[in-house]
Amino acid sequence: MVEGDKWEMYIPSELGYGDRGSPPKIGGGDVLVFTMEILKINGDKVPANKCDVASLEGCSEKEAEYLKKKKASSKDDVATEITRLEGMSSKPMASDKQAWLSKRLVLLRKLKDEL
């Protein structure tokens, strides 16, 4: 997320108030809907990822090289790689490796949508 982004989040009943609700405004079984807008980010800002997976415009050399290899994969192979990387993301690792893993996940999710 970057400054100016607006996101809408849906929280299913079982992760919210469940069948009991929170009367009078939230009934039992209701889905909670939150709209978030990032007005300002304090501290270090991370630039938005502007890498276009189709044209490779805005991609770093490392991102472009990675995508060229992955473009030959099937949608199922990309989905399998996403699952593998998601499993790795909870493991301890150096911050530069964690950043590259996160970037690969973003790129692969975009690529999966393109396939």
Query: How confident is the model over 29-49, as pLDDT tens digits?
Result: 999 999 998 888 787 666 667
Cα–Cα distances in Å, from 105 out to 78, 93, 114?
A: 10, 16, 14
pLDDT confidence of residue 14: 94
pLDDT confidence of residue 56: 95
Element (H, E) at 8: strand 6-11
Domain ranges of the chain: 1-48, 61-114
Return the closest-CA partner of residue 9 out of 31, 29, 27: 31
Joined together, the tokens standing for residue 24 give: 């009078």
Query: How confident is the model over 77-110, as pLDDT tens digits?
Result: 999 999 999 999 888 989 889 889 989 999 999 9
Joined together, the tokens standing for residue 37 give: 């807008």
pLDDT confidence of residue 45: 64
Cα–Cα distance measured from residue 91 to residue 98, given in angstroms and rounded to the nearest whole number? 9
